[in-house]
Structure 1
Amino acid sequence: MAIIAPKSQTSRDNRVDFWRGIALMMIFVNHVPGTVWERYTSRNFGFSDAAELFVFLAGFAAAFAYGRPFLGGYRLFASLKAYRRAGTLFLVQMTLTMLTIGLFAWAALAFGEGRLMWRMNLNALSTEPLEAFFGLASFGHQFGYVNILPMYIALLLIMPIHLWLASISRELMLGASIAFWAVTWTFNLNIPAFPNPGGWFFNPLAWQVIFAVGLYAGLRKTAGLPSVPYRPWLFALALGYLLVSFVIVHYGLWSLIFDLGIPGPLTSFDKTFAAVPRVLHVLALVYVFANASPGSPFADIRRENVIAAMGRHSLPVFACGTLLSLVCQTIKFGGEEHVLFDTTLIGIGIGIQILIAQWIEWWGGYQKSVAAERSAGRPHGTTREPETASPPAPPSATLSAAHDARGP
């Protein structure tokens, strides 16, 4: 039986944007290795890191941006909308790639550090330039720290398949995704890299399962159902898993897992193939925080929250944060940890990202105010009279403005 898209929901869960903003900040910190603050990101407290959380939330947001119109009968429209977003991300990825080359080439010349051109997979530009540039254009060759967007582009391209299965049954979509994930690590499936051997670091054939779980939770939310229903026993189990993973990571007790004799995919921590412990960890993390008590500060996030604003504008913030992290790498190159220097470096980077999000917020509100005044036939800047106020937007417009958070 086909799923019929439910009635519009006009409220937006700012918690999704908040945690997406948190993930963006942690990604930025992790992309500046060698600072003291790197010790305090989520990867030091469990099996997963900010990348898994970000992909889950991207899937959740995709349920609103693409799932609703797709399940409402506008399959071609939703699919082309996703492909258009993928095209935008492609342009952003190409821009970041060229800026990365320019930045590290300049830093190598300015600082006299040729070693900078041998970081992050940049060395192929010198040893195999023709092959490397073809690889960059085709995503076969990806720089370290600039390799998340290609994976997300691939997820957008295959998302219509997820949604087609979800139109039959959400559970069918989720089950098929999990089955394909199992196939990828059973047969070591990945998209080939070029010119270097191996495959993509972020293997979209495996990471699609995290995206699909987020999409499943989001589709439940659009249907008026709890995205993650609360069960006391499940909450306790998730909390226990987070505690065990923290103890193992913090105290280095990896032998507790490796000595179990369980097949590799169930006990490995391979990031490329989204190993089982990593996926279970991010799902446990989401479940615990999604079911936070009403009195928790994470239960009621306001729209005005600056971190939530970062999550609402994730693509420009992510792109800027990626470039800033690479700038910080060139500044930090070869340096030791230093609390004051590292705090200043990370603080300025995060501060710039916050300012970008606030600028976009202001600019969006300013454009709306100008449009409202023009529709009312008044010059910009004049005082609004009560009788000339614009009528409220229709529910469809409210839905579009509230939920078109497509992430990154």
Structure 2
Amino acid sequence: MTSSASRPQGAARPHARSSWGRRDHRIDALRGVALLMMFVDHIPQNVLNRFTLRNVGFADAAEIFVLLAGYASWLAYGRNFARVGLRAGLGRVMRRCARLYVFQAIMVVVTTATIRYWRGFWPVPVDFLEPELAHGLSSFWRVMFLDALPSNLNILPLYIVLLGCFPLIYLLMRASLLLTLAVSGGLWLLTNLDPAINFPNWLDPDGWYFDPLAWQFLFTLGACASVLAARHDGSLPRLGWLRVACGAYLAVSALEAFPWSQWGLPDLRPFVVVAPDKSVLAPLRLLDVMAIFYLVQSSHATRHMAEGRIGRVMALFGRHSLEVFATGTVIDLYARLVFTTFGAGWWLQIAVNVIGFTILWALATVLDRQRIRQKERMAGASAAKDHDAPSSSVPGLKRAH
């Protein structure tokens, strides 16, 4: 028999709403911030990437993105399993995976076509599409079958694998959260002890850059955190000692990760720590992202910040993460080509960033308006159905025409 402490019963509570009856925008806002940082980080010549998360900690926006993917997966699919059943819920997960793959395929085709066209006019370094693919299309099928993952096109395949495994994670969580964390954490630990345990990648003998067998732990932690937050009105339990410990760890992490030499400043690192391995989600990176998430999701102040103007703009990006991420990846490609070909002067820096952020904001705005109109249509249809229901549900009462 499963104890009440381990069974995710609190997931049935509508934790997307705050105690004041308003939507909690923190998850969407944090995801929006992560998406914009990923957009900036994927342009090496962009001066703005000196101000992103990776400069003040061991983790970066990718860890935030995967953690929130797990958190949102429980909200979108975990609770849905209980309502519609395992088969229907599984179908919904598979449809989402198919949609992710379509976006991945589009990005691959656009990237390949763009580089081949650009090369007809200006030289393009081979690292824009791995050397084995840069000069021909004979191995293009490998990319489409996820057997070869070029740089900057490797995070959606990770998400596809993690989401595809979510039904198994769900079943474990229904049995016991502690068992789920033990199994998932044990697999993560195994990959850290032996990094050779990985999915094969034709372009890299070391395997996938984001090892799914390691990163699944972060995804699972996010799903379990969603269950825990549901039991506390959408927030993680506020423990003073834990908040102090997280703050202290992040302070040390910031001192260790800050690029002192790049800014021409004296090195203030208290220790000499080798950069933790991102591929296997090394412990220092895992602790970093979990500390950030706990401080955000246990704070009343961050809830109010997410309700503010900037927070709502960030949440706008976060609500449409797939479209924003895919579009940002394509813009990143063009920005890198422009900087490589024409230089990274200040005017181009301003133009690339202003145009890029404007496109992403316009896309998110259009998609959000469509979302609102769809909700209004659904609400109208539901109201009409409820209005007609009483006359047809009372025996012997005929509907007036």
- What's 1:243 paired with? 251
Instruction: Return the letter of the residue paired with 2:73.
Output: A
Q: Residues of 2 paired with 1:149 and 1:295: CA distance?
A: 28
TM-score (norm 1): 0.82
Instruction: Quickly say closer, same or farther: Cα 1:138–1:10, change in 2 above 3 A.
Output: closer
Q: Superposition pairs for residues 126-165 of structure 1, below 5 Å? A: 126=134, 129-130=137-138, 132-165=139-172
Alpha-carbon deviation of 1:71?
4.5
Alpha-carbon deviation of 1:3?
4.6
Q: Residues of 1 paired with 2:134 and 2:40: CA distance?
A: 29
State yes or no: 1:119 paired with 2:121: no
Pairing partner for 1:6 from 12, 16, 22: 12
State yes or no: 1:37 paired with 2:45: no
Alpha-carbon deviation of 1:137?
2.0
Instruction: Quickly say closer, same or farther: Cα 1:254–1:103, change in 2 above 3 A.
Output: farther
- What's 1:384 paired with? none
Paired residues of 1:292 and 1:299 also in contact (CA < 8 A) = no
Q: Residues of 2 paired with 1:8 and 1:296: CA distance?
A: 16
3-state SS of 1:348 partner: helix
Q: Residues of 2 paired with 1:94 and 1:178: CA distance?
A: 31
State yes or no: 1:292 paired with 2:299: yes
Instruction: Return the letter of the residue paired with 1:283.
Output: M
- What's 1:282 paired with? 289
Segment of structure 1 superposing worse, 190-199 or 16-25 = 190-199
Alpha-carbon deviation of 1:329?
1.0
Alpha-carbon deviation of 1:198?
2.2
Pairing partner for 1:47 from 58, 62, 69: 58
Q: Superposition pairs for residues 313-352 of structure 1, below 5 Å? A: 313-333=320-340, 336-352=343-359
Instruction: Return the letter of the residue paired with 1:80.
Output: G
3-state SS of 1:119 partner: helix
3-state SS of 2:130 partner: coil
- What's 2:276 paired with? 269
- What's 1:205 paired with? 213
Instruction: Quickly say closer, same or farther: Cα 1:274–1:371, change in 2 above 3 A.
Output: closer
- What's 1:357 paired with? 364
Q: Residues of 1 paired with 2:376 and 2:223: CA distance?
A: 34
- What's 1:102 paired with? 113
Q: Give 5+ residue unaligned stretches, structure 1.
A: 259-266, 377-387, 393-408
Q: Residues of 1 paired with 2:13 and 2:377: CA distance?
A: 31
Q: Residues of 2 paired with 1:333 and 1:47: CA distance?
A: 28
3-state SS of 1:162 partner: helix
- What's 2:398 paired with? none
Pairing partner for 1:177 from 161, 178, 184: 184
3-state SS of 2:208 partner: coil
Q: Superposition pairs for residues 73-92 of structure 1, below 5 Å? A: 74-92=85-103
Paired residues of 1:140 and 1:200 also in contact (CA < 8 A) = no
Alpha-carbon deviation of 1:257?
4.6
Instruction: Quickly say closer, same or farther: Cα 1:295–1:271, change in 2 above 3 A.
Output: closer
Q: Residues of 2 paired with 1:272 and 1:98: CA distance?
A: 25
Instruction: Quickly say closer, same or farther: Cα 1:227–1:170, change in 2 above 3 A.
Output: farther
Alpha-carbon deviation of 1:75?
2.0
Alpha-carbon deviation of 1:364?
2.7
Paired residues of 2:63 and 2:289 also in contact (CA < 8 A) = yes
3-state SS of 2:50 partner: helix
Alpha-carbon deviation of 1:296?
7.5
Paired residues of 1:36 and 1:337 also in contact (CA < 8 A) = no
Pairing partner for 1:17 from 16, 28, 35: 28
Instruction: Return the letter of the residue paired with 1:307.
Output: M
Task: Determine what percentage of the aligned residue pairs are the same residue.
Answer: 31
Pairing partner for 1:308 from 315, 330, 342: 315
Paired residues of 1:3 and 1:167 also in contact (CA < 8 A) = yes
State yes or no: 1:366 paired with 2:373: yes
Cα RMSD, aligned residues only: 2.7
Instruction: Quickly say closer, same or farther: Cα 1:48–1:372, change in 2 above 3 A.
Output: closer
Number of equivalences: 368
- What's 1:60 paired with? 71
Alpha-carbon deviation of 1:103?
0.9
State yes or no: 1:231 paired with 2:239: yes
Segment of structure 1 superposing worse, 298-307 or 37-46 = 298-307
3-state SS of 1:294 partner: helix
Per-residue CA shift, 1:210-266, capped at 9, x if unaligned?
1111111112233456652111111011000111011111246678254xxxxxxxx
Segment of structure 1 superposing worse, 277-286 or 67-76 = 67-76
3-state SS of 1:197 partner: coil
- What's 1:399 paired with? none
Instruction: Quickly say closer, same or farther: Cα 1:3–1:23, change in 2 above 3 A.
Output: closer
- What's 2:81 paired with? 70
Paired residues of 2:73 and 2:163 also in contact (CA < 8 A) = no
Alpha-carbon deviation of 1:94?
0.8
Segment of structure 1 superposing worse, 217-226 or 271-280 = 217-226
Q: Residues of 2 paired with 1:121 and 1:84: CA distance?
A: 29
Paired residues of 1:184 and 1:206 also in contact (CA < 8 A) = yes
Alpha-carbon deviation of 1:300?
3.4
Segment of structure 1 superposing worse, 144-153 or 359-368 = 359-368
